[in-house]
Structure 1
């Protein structure tokens, strides 16, 4: 079984939480399905859940090196130097990330109304990028 779920903002990508925060259980009442990957609590978007352990492993195992694409709003007017840096790999506390695919895009016109709304600041420009990564860090 495959379940496609549009994970809302502020929802944890798991079914239980000791602190009582919103989880997938608040939205999905299907036994024995597990998320193939995750989105951070403050991220939103498509999440695939399945009861097929082999498929889940194939989709989430870093050795399979499948790109996952995110549409990201960033603060400021992103330039080629920043995109090139993402494509070369970014140095984090735990080492260099794998190279990404990054390109500046227009704000997607198919985005749904969100609560809270995507950040808008009258005096600070924002940019949108398409970011494809092979690892979740």
Structure 2
């Protein structure tokens, strides 16, 4: 019953079958029979867990289990504390209202821990960017991107840095690297 942590590179799609124009999980994960516990869209990067245990997949991915996923979003512009408070309260996205979440600014020294993205985001000298952290227990399609856009700060780069207490920096994984984890480790709170 393997549990694999992958630092999913930008541009990789969350499926194992080959794609004509993009890399897929099969390009990075060589363990047979595992599937992602949740997803990251192709334009998002970072921590993705894969397992062959359906019950464990559900405990990681399903919002009803309230496992926190922590994201760093590089947004266009310079949001203030009130924008972060609006995100934290929950955002009406038209088709649903997001659950309350935790938000904070990411210090530039911390953001410098991230690897370089290939290709890099488009740089515009006249428009600043800011890194913010959102800790959510949902994970609907493009949720973080939609949340930041709804409060006026579109996401330029999105990296999932943690699932539960499992942190990508502690794992030391470069983009495309994997490591096998014990499936019932104390960090996951799911034993």
Same fold (TM over 0.5): yes
- Relative to structure 1, is the Cα distance of residues 125 and 18 closer, same or farther in structure 2, using a 3 angstrom cutoff? closer
Q: What are the Cα deviations for residues 28-68 of structure 1, in whole angstroms up to 9, with x where unaligned?
A: 22211011111111011111111222211111111111110
Mark the runs of 5 or more structure 1 residues left unpaired by the alignment: none
Q: Distance in 1 between matches of 2:120 and 2:107?
A: 17
**After TM superposition, where is structure 1 displaced by more than 6 Å over at least 4 residues in a row?**
none
Task: Indicate which of 107, 123, 133 corresponds to 1:120.
Answer: 123
* 1:93 CA drift (Å): 2.5
2:60 aligned partner: 59
53-62 or 118-127, which deviates more: 118-127
Q: Distance in 1 between matches of 2:99 and 2:52?
A: 29
TM-score by length of 1: 0.91
**1 or 2, which has the higher helix percentage?**
2
* 1:21 CA drift (Å): 3.3
* 1:20 CA drift (Å): 5.2
Residues paired across the two proteins, number:
137
2:12 aligned partner: 11
Mark the runs of 5 or more structure 2 residues left unpaired by the alignment: 141-191
Higher relative contact order, chain-length normalized (CA < 8 Å, sep 6+): 2
